[in-house]
Structures are given as C-alpha cells and as structure tokens.
Amino acid sequence: MPVTLGHEVAGHLDDGSAVAVWPLVACGTCDRCTAGEVSQCRTGPGRVYGIGRDGGMADELVVDPACIVPLPDGLGVGDAALVEPIACGVHALRRGGMRSGERVAVVGAGAIGLGAAAAARWMDGSVDIAARHPAQRQAAEQIGVGPDPGGEYDVVVDAAGTEAAIAKCVELVRPGGTITLLASYWEPVAFPQFFTMKEPVLVGANMHGRDATGTDMEAAARMLADLPEVSRAMITHRFPLERAREAFTVAADRAAGAIKVVLEP
C-alpha cells in the first residue's frame, strides 16, 4: 500500500501524556455518521490512519485531536497498541447484543479472536475459544477463557474468516442466538446447508465505533487496565523500529508462537 502502515498505535503527545490512537477518522457528515454509526461511514477506509493514509510505524505521527484516546491508570503505553484490535472485539460483542452472564464462543485465536474473548470475559460472559496453535491455547488459558467450545452459545464470534469457521459457528450457536462476523473474509465463504433452521441472527462488525456509554476504544483501554494479564498473554514479541523486517517475519509465523508483535520506536 502506498502509505506508512500502522493502525494499532500508542505513543506520547508532545506534553508527554500517554495515549492510544483511534485510527478511524469518520467524515462526520454522511447519513451513517449522522446516525451515530461511524464504523459505517460512507467514506470507507480511505481516511483510516495506517490503511488509507500514513499510520504509526514511524517516529512521529500527526493525528486529528478527535482520535486521541487518553490511557487509563494501569495501562502502560507499551501495551496500548492492543487497544485498537481489542476495540474491534468490543464492537463485535456490542453489535451482537451480548449481555452479562451469556455464554460466548470465539472461533479463531489470533490477536483479534483472543482480544474478543478477553473483552467478552470482561463484559461478564462465560467464554470459550477455539484455537489452532499451542501458543494460542496457552494465551487463552492466561486470559482466563476456556478451550474447545462445546454445547450451545448465546453469541458466537467468527474471528477466523474461513468456511470451516462459519460451519463451526453455526454448530455452536443456540437456536435464535447470534453469530457475529468479526473476521475479514479474503475469500467467498459458503454457509452450511439448512443453517437457517436455527434462526441465527447474523451480524457484521467493522472496526469500532461508539454507543451511549462511550467509544469502543475507551472500553478496550479500560479492559486492558482492568485485566493486565491480557497484554502479558497477547504481546509475545517486541522489536525496535529499525528491526521491523525481522518483526514482520516473526509475526507471520503463528505456528512458532507469535500472537502480537509490537514495534517500539
């Protein structure tokens, strides 16, 4: 892409205060923004830092003041790059209407899936996650979510984006429950035969937004402050910016144990 990457960003302002960056810059004027649904902004990803314009893999980044997310006590700047991916999980659970005490299954245990599982636990759910690699299973255990989903769940989150994951979601959802599609679908996927017999509610989730209680980014930051074990479990590697090439190689090798790799300028 013809931009500097990096949409999962934390850093210091000129005055020294530690912040995360909400990379989504909604237009604020289209019909969806006016309705309060900034994640559905008509301008799409072109205004997102690190995707449509220069992002955070740099020594300095200039952002709109509206994108500044002050960090709560208990969350260090070195862990706060996790705020953005976890906000995606918070958003997916809110979109899925998850309520306290519900059973939640997450299919896929990359950073997005683990973050969603942690958020569901923080939102007082009973959570199990389907993981592929040993390091992911270990991280899930550290976060306090169960392995190997079985039985029925009120809310099932697809954080894998494959046809097998969709089939698993349909298998795990209770009749009338919700399947939240949090993954990126790089290929077309088919749904299993007769999947509507359970009458599942299918909900798409894109990035993050806000509701009456605040923004998903703020909620994710509070969650990371409340549950410090999440950062410890999810950040498996740290590299200085000048070793970015090596960092990408490590990040690409999930089987070798990478979950989230942080670049530190």
User: Binding residues for Zn ion, per CB under 5 A?
Assistant: 26-27, 30, 33, 41
Residue among 200 and 209 whose Cβ is closer to Zn ion: 209
Looking only at the bridges linking them, the beta strands covering 201-204 and 260-264 are unpaired
Across the chain, the runs of DSSP E, i.e. the strands, are 10-12, 18-21, 68-70, 103-107, 126-130, 146-147, 153-158, 173-181, 201-204, 210-211, 214-215, 235-240, 260-264
| 26 or 129: CB nearest Zn ion | 26
How many Å apart are CA 237 and CA 263, to the nearest integer? 9
Residue nearer to Zn ion on the CB measure, 47 or 237: 47
Distance of closest approach, residue 217 Cβ to Zn ion, in angstroms? 17
- Cα–Cα distance between 68 and 32 in angstroms, integer? 22
Residue with Cβ nearer Zn ion (47 or 133): 47
Would you say 35 or 212 has its CB closer to Zn ion? 35
Classified as helix, coil or strand, 167 is helix
Smallest separation, CB 29 to Zn ion (Å): 6
Distance of alpha carbon 61 from alpha carbon 55, whole angstroms: 7
Minimum CB–partner distance for residue 89 and Zn ion (Å): 23
**CB-based contact 174:152 (threshold 8 Å):** yes
Shortest Cβ 12–Zn ion spacing (Å): 29
Distance, CA of 227 to CA of 233 (rounded, Å)? 11
* Cα distances (angstroms) measured from residue 100 to each of 47, 97, 125, 228: 34, 10, 6, 21
Token pair recorded at residue 214? 């605040």
Q: Nearest distance from residue 25's CB to Zn ion, in Å?
A: 10
Q: Which is nearer to Zn ion, 149 or 209 (CB)?
A: 209
Closest CB 31 distance from Zn ion, rounded Å: 8
